[in-house]
Amino acid sequence: MPDTAAEVRQQIREVLVGVFGGPSFVSQLQDAGSLREAGVPSTALVALLVAMEDAFGFQWDDDVRPEVLRSIDSLAGHVLALRN
Amino acid sequence: MSAEAVQDEYYHDLSYREGTPLVGTREGVALYHESTGEGVAITTLNNFFFTAPFWRDYTDELAKHYRVVSYDLANHGHSTRLEQEPTWEEHVADLVGLLDALEIDSTYLLASSASTQLARDVALAHPDRVRGLVLAGPVVGPQIRRHRMLQRAWLRTLNSNDIPVLFSHMYPEFVSTQMIEEYGVPGYLGLRESFVAMSTPEELNNGLALAQQGDPSSELLTRIQAPTLIALGDDDILLGPTAGHELAALFPNGRCVIMPKAGHVPFLDDVLGFQELVRKFIEEAEDNA
């Protein structure tokens, strides 16, 4: 189980590679950049959220704010916040 | 639901087609539109929560048989922004202007929820331009009071909070029980992300406010001669199956088809089934024309 923000971000990237079927697109994503603005469609976002539940062992709550889902950084921050 | 299954289930490409010229409809107004396929025209009508690109995934099969035209209403999406929200009459004029510009003599209108009122008004004002109506989750006729109450509640939620909170209010009301169970929280969050991306608070406020207006008389429906299909989910909280059949009976040439376990926007629940329903309706209407 990754413990640091860098490790969590890296694992989210690995999940995204699985969602997109390869590393080429994911390697262009900035940690703090908007996933939607980078071209991540909602379908991929949903797939990412499902995969994150499996990868990090938690379940999403439906009142999580949209800004949590904005970027790799914010997603990683949410994972770490849940652990703490 | 696995990540792969979700990937197949959700695809909401909301991007606009770059380089698409806007079409002038009346002074100071130009509309974004997309036209796909050839043949008899089907024109989709946004209900203030959708944008033109939204329809692609719900009309792709129809576009193999017909010319599907989707557009953004004036003051919404990529169409001209105005100081004031257009009236229903102006939205009617815009649609007719769009049809003129695209050289479409007559069209089927595919409307959902609040835009069923626009479809009704176009059919009444320009019967020669309307080949038929498909009203999905209609909010015209005897049940309109309930819909307007619900929309006022959505408007209050929007103005007291923000779009994500509005979505949390609306979701269990417009989405079917089955879809909520199948999609789970990740699906809810994904749809919310699309919803937030499609509209600004101002657009939603304007649309919800306009939806409160318009003639609520059921008698208007008795004047519509165009073939009319009411596509109704049996889990639509705004209109039950019995009331749906009663509503269809008001139209001189109307029918109601119930879509099992679907909600207020029934094509969300059964994308292919809905399009097949529409295709058969048009096929029959064209045979009888």
Rounded CA-CA distance B174/B150 in Å is 11
Q: Chain A residue closest to B194 (CA)? A: A42
Chain A residues whose CB is inside 8 A of the B196 CB are 66
Domain ranges of chain A: 5-83
Give chain A's length: 84
Q: What is the pTM of this model?
A: 0.86
**Helix extents (H) in B49-200:** 56-59, 88-101, 115-125, 144-160, 163-174, 177-198
CB contact under 8 A, B190 and A59: no
Confidence tier at B13 by pLDDT (50, 70, 90): low
The minimal CB distance from A45 to the residues B4, B185, B193 is found for B193
Say which CATH class A5-83 falls into. Answer: mainly alpha
Chain B residues whose CB is inside 8 A of the A60 CB are 185-186, 189
Domain ranges of chain B: 13-144+216-288
Q: Chain A residue closest to B197 (CA)? A: A36
Task: Sort strands B254-259 and B228-233 into parallel, antiparallel or unpaired.
Answer: parallel
Chain A residues whose CB is inside 8 A of the B14 CB are 41-42
CATH fold of the domain at B13-144+216-288 = Rossmann fold (3.40.50)
- pLDDT tens string B121-176: 999 999 999 999 999 999 999 888 888 999 999 999 999 999 999 999 999 999 99
- pLDDT tens string B74-112: 999 999 999 889 999 999 999 999 999 999 999 999 999
- Number of H helices and E strands in chain B, helices first, is 11, 9
